[in-house]
Structure 1
């Protein structure tokens, strides 16, 4: 049986390949009912992209291998019984404090809710905010620095027509710094459990795929919840929007704060480096 730490390593990677394969099959089938939600035509993908599908898949596989090795040394494997005892002790301490300071008779129920719902929610949200902050500023640096763009970030922008597998198509150094390291730091800073880390890494992968999937389905829950979706990020991959919409993968508040959100009314035209 897989321990939580090992699942946190391989589950997000497995989900990435499964979800990307689903979108790739969808694109190749060109189902008439779904083609109206496609952001670019099949011909555009073949004509405009400057890297082959095989090379994209290979580079993603390399990044995942690096991610797995990094995570293996990052995660501190604990025996399930030790983790269970530590969790029980934490709930007990919270129960005692609630009873001592607030005199609550149902302190144990509140403590259980605190550790099973409130704390994980706070950890997850803070981790999302950190990942967004980490990626926004590194991503923006990849465009404002000619050296960074030429030697690292320009590889990702060989995809003028994004598709699912290309979500993690990056230079290996940039992929590590942007995705692997950012998620690892978020995990460590928030002190979340390996199981919660698995959920965070998996959700982050799914959201990144959604941003590059090439479709803008109006019923997609991620499109309804997040403004930062496939249509939003697709603008960034076009010559007229390459200096805008740096935010990824969840929120857009950094783009709004630093005035780097694409202005549809301005119809700005910005050429890539």
Structure 2
């Protein structure tokens, strides 16, 4: 009679992978927090942009009449797509560099409590919101910055679903990328 031990071991490995238990086998697929925090926002951005983009094909869900995008926008869909992808590549590079500089020493940190996580999130949200608000306001007040940098953001009169990150690369770096990095760094660990 054959032993059931190999079958039980295989069953336990499959169960560990599916349930993602703390007793994972070496076959389990693990992704670091750094990788998740770098790429999940980009994936979520495109998933929701895609959903909202598809909703634009339904007549009852449109904010602007058909054809208004092509008539009123200075920037084409391709220009906006390229601009957003460039912005996201820069963000990924900066986050990767920041994680290398600020990263842990190879030790698994203790998971903070829910209250600590909520406070970190609130602080990061306030920091990013203030940075974005005052940076954006300054871009409008300073005529040189508005004309040469910020006006690119206003080339979208009728916005595309994926156009929220469309701006001049320098503005994207200063407001979005550095703002997000500051929010991360200033929310205490």
Tell me if both proteins adopt one fold, taking TM over 0.5 as the criterion: yes
1:174 to 171, 176, 182: 171
Partner residue of 1:55? 79
1:9 corresponds to which of 35, 38, 48: 38
Partners of 1:54 and 1:131 in 2: CA distance: 28
d(CA) in 1 for partners of 2:105, 2:63: 47
Give the drift of 1:47. 1.1
- Which deviations, in whole Å up to 9, do the C-alpha atoms of 1:235-267 show, x marking residues without a partner? xxxxxxxxxxxxxxxxxxxxxxxxxxxxxxxxx
Q: Given the alignment of the two structures, is residue 83 of structure 1 paired with residue 108 of structure 2, yes or no?
A: yes
1:221-260 map, 5 Å: none
In the alignment, structure 1 residue 21 sits paired with structure 2 residue 35: no
Instruction: Show the 5 A alignment for 1:138-157.
Output: 138-157=135-154
Question: 1:164 aligns to what SS in structure 2?
Answer: coil
Alignment partner, residue 186 of structure 2: 189
- Equivalent position of 2:25 in the other structure: none
> C-alpha displacement at 1:43, in angstroms?
2.5
The offset of 1:21, in angstroms, is 1.5
Which blocks of at least 5 consecutive residues in structure 1 are unaligned? 89-114, 193-273
TM-score (norm 2): 0.78
Alignment of 1:67-146 (within 5 A): 67-75=91-99, 76-78=102-104, 82-84=107-109, 87=110, 115-146=112-143
Report the Cα distance in structure 2 between the residues aligned to 1:10 and 1:79, rounded to whole angstroms. 22
RMSD between aligned alpha carbons?
A: 1.7
Which string of whole-angstrom CA distances, capped at 9 and with x for unpartnered residues, describes residues 24-44 of structure 1?
1221x2x24x33xx3322232
Task: Tell me which structure has the larger Cα radius of gyration.
Answer: 2
| CA distance in 1: counterparts of 2:36 and 2:171, whole angstroms | 25
Cα deviations across residues 70-127 of structure 1 (Å, max 9, x unaligned)?
00110144377x224xx27xxxxxxxxxxxxxxxxxxxxxxxxxx4211111111111
**Aligned pairs, number:** 158
Query: Equivalent residues in 2 for 1:204-215 (5 A)?
Result: none
Q: For structure 2, which runs of at least 5 residues remain unmatched after alignment?
A: 1-29
Q: CA deviation at 1:169?
A: 0.3
Equivalent position SS for 2:75:
coil
Q: Distance in 1 between matches of 2:64 and 2:138?
A: 27
Comparing both chains, which one has the higher relative contact order based on Cα–Cα distances under 8 Å and sequence gaps of 6 or more? Answer: 2
